[in-house]
Amino acid sequence: MFFDTLLARLSGSEIEAVLAHELGHFKRRHVLKLMIVMFGISLALLALLGWLVQTTWFYEGLGVRPSLVGSNNGLTLVLFMLVLPVFMFFVTPLGSLTSRKNEFEADAFAASQTDPKDLVNALVKLYEDNASTLTPDPLYTAFYYSHPPASQRIDQLMQHAA
Ligand SMILES: [Zn+2]
C-alpha cells in the first residue's frame, strides 16, 4: 500500500519496486483468489446459520430459551455473531500463513521486474516509519502476521539479487 508520507521518502526506483510488488499481487491473482475463498466461507457460514436456527441444542448450550411460537432468526443471528469469533480464532493462523505466502510471491515478482535492492530499501523505510519491531516473536508471527517479518522478506529479496 502507498501512503503519501511514504511516497515522499521513496526514490523513483523504490516507488517502482513497491508498485511492482502490488502488481505481483494482481499478476498472481491474489485478490481474485481471496474473494473466491471469502465467498465460499460466507456461503458455508450462512448454511451453518440456516441449520443452527432449526436446532434446540444451540440455544440450550448458550443458556438461552428460544421462542416456541415466534421466529428465532434475530436471536440466532446475535448468538451466532457472539460465538463465531471463538471458532474463527483457530482459522486465524491459516489466513496469516496464506497471506504471508502471497507476500513472498509478490516480492518475488517485484524482484523479477525491478532491482530487488530497491524493494529492500523501500521496506526498510516503511518499517522505520511504522516503528515496528524487526525481531517479532516467532509464535506470534506465525499466528497473527499477515506480512512476513522484515528480516525474512529482505533475506529472500537478497537471494533474488544474488
Ligand atoms: Zn503485498
For the chain, the distance separating the N- and C-terminal CA atoms, rounded to the nearest angstrom, is 26
The pLDDT tens digits of the residues spanning 66-108 come to 888 889 899 999 999 999 999 889 999 999 999 999 999 999 9
Give the distance (Å) from ligand 1 centre to CA of residue 54.
Answer: 42
What's 102's DSSP letter?
H
pLDDT at 134 (0 to 100): 77
The pLDDT tens digits of the residues spanning 109-156 come to 999 999 999 999 999 998 888 777 778 888 998 899 999 999 999 999
The pLDDT tens digits of the residues spanning 69-78 come to 889 899 999 9
What's 76's DSSP letter?
H
Residues 7-32 have a mean pLDDT of: 94
Instruction: Name the residue with cell 432468526.
Output: 73
Domain count, the chain: 1
Distance CA 150, CA 157 (A): 10
Known catalytic residue: 107? yes
Give the distance (Å) from ligand 1 centre to CA of residue 105.
Answer: 9
Task: Print the domain residue range for 96.
Answer: 4-161
**CB-based contact 109:24 (threshold 8 Å):** yes
Give the distance (Å) from ligand 1 centre to CA of residue 86.
Answer: 28
Known catalytic residue: 60? no
Of 14, 16, 103, 107, which is the active-site residue?
Answer: 107
Ligand 1 is a single-atom ion; what residues have CB below 5 A from it? Answer: 103, 106
Give the distance (Å) from ligand 1 centre to CA of residue 38.
Answer: 18
**pTM exceeding the 0.85 threshold for the entire prediction:** no
CA-angle at 137, arms to 134 and 141, nearest 5°: 90
pLDDT at 132 (0 to 100): 75
**pLDDT of 1 over the 70 cut:** no
Question: Residues with Cβ < 8 Å from 157, sequence gap 6 or more?
Answer: 107, 111, 116, 117, 119, 120, 123
Distance CA 118, CA 16 (A): 8
Our separate counts of H helices and E strands in the chain read: 9, 0
pLDDT at 58 (0 to 100): 94
